[in-house]
Structure 1
């Protein structure tokens, strides 16, 4: 699938600079994501154990994936609750129209 024009942005992870491609207009989101990932990696590394950067990155990625799954699950539950409330509201409105 062809992609639109790409540009590059520089991010810093664990003190190392990387040049990565991103879609135009997505630079700020990329930098925010990189900062979040870098903070997650720094948190793991600060626990005192000496582990490789690869393992730190893997653990940070797993932790962030877990956070995403929890948030996705919570969002789905809220959407279902909202749909139920909407159905109740529609039913109540329908009752008032037919009364």
Structure 2
């Protein structure tokens, strides 16, 4: 479910309403999928109990992964880039077709 500027996301079975700039919905959902995967991995180890503690451990692990990147490491997710390019193409095509309709 979404309304302009907001999306409902699901993390570990709980729904949250979050703000999202127009055109960034796919990136947000990719982030939600990544976060959910990390949350489930941590929960499924059985070493961390409670959603709050799981979320904190995952946040710490993601921050650690980010800070471990070396300058020059691409750390690029090709799938995310392709999704972003496709989204940009869709926006461009929509804008161009809207402009064409206004010409006549």
TM-score (norm 2): 0.61
Residue segments in structure 1 that go unaligned for 5+ positions in a row: 1-5, 80-99
Higher RCO by CA contacts (8 Å cutoff, separation 6 or greater):
2
- Bigger radius of gyration among the two: 1
Q: Given the superposition, is the C-alpha separation of residues 29 and 49 from structure 1 closer, same or farther in structure 2, using an over 3 Å criterion?
A: same
Q: CA deviation at 1:77?
A: 4.7
SS in structure 2 at match of 1:20: strand
Q: How many residues align?
A: 71
Q: Deviation above 4 Å: which 4+ runs of structure 1?
A: none
Match of 1:83 in 2: none
Aligned residue number for residue 46 of structure 2? 48
Partners of 1:32 and 1:61 in 2: how far apart?
16
TM-score, scaled relative to structure 1: 0.64
